[in-house]
Amino acid sequence: GQSLEQPSEVTAVEGAIVQINCTYQTSGFYGLSWYQQHDGGAPTFLSYNALDGLEETGRFSSFLSRSDSYGYLLLQELQMKDSASYFCAVRRGSTLGRLYFGRGTQLTVWP
């Protein structure tokens, strides 16, 4: 089987930096994806890490350590619109759409 652990809630103020951690236990690990979801809408792809290290995309960065079965999503210069749920998801094979999701972290950004 597989399991993913991430905090259920995180709060921060505008302009701050927040880190959302994700630990996983799974067989056949291929990579770790991050998705954003606003108010139950369409999950939106943010990033994907297959190798150890940091991937940077604008204000968002994602990190993976395969040896520690650990990753995180780093959000910088927080804006109110970043308030959403953030999901880490394990990819177990070559098909990117075949994902195992965590329960999600609700991020609230205060003014």
Partner 1 sequence: NAGVMQNPRHLVRRRGQEARLRCSPMKGHSHVYWYRQLPEEGLKFMVYLQKENIIDESGMPKERFSAEFPKEGPSILRIQQVVRGDSAAYFCASSPPVLNTEAFFGQGTRLTVV
Tally Cβ neighbours within 10 Å of residue 27: 7
Q: Name which of 88 and 109 has its Cβ closer to partner 1.
A: 88
- Burial call 51-88: b when 16+ CB within 10 Å, e when fewer: eeeebeeeebbbbbeeeebebbbebeebeeebbbbbbb
Q: How far is the CB of 106 from partner 1 (least distance, A)?
A: 9
Q: Name which of 27 and 95 has its Cβ closer to partner 1.
A: 95
Residues forming beta bridges with residue 18, ordered by sequence position: 75
Q: Name which of 75 and 99 has its Cβ closer to partner 1.
A: 99
Q: How far is the CB of 15 from partner 1 (least distance, A)?
A: 28
- Return residues touching partner 1 (CB under 8 A): 4, 33, 35, 40-45, 48, 87, 89, 94-104
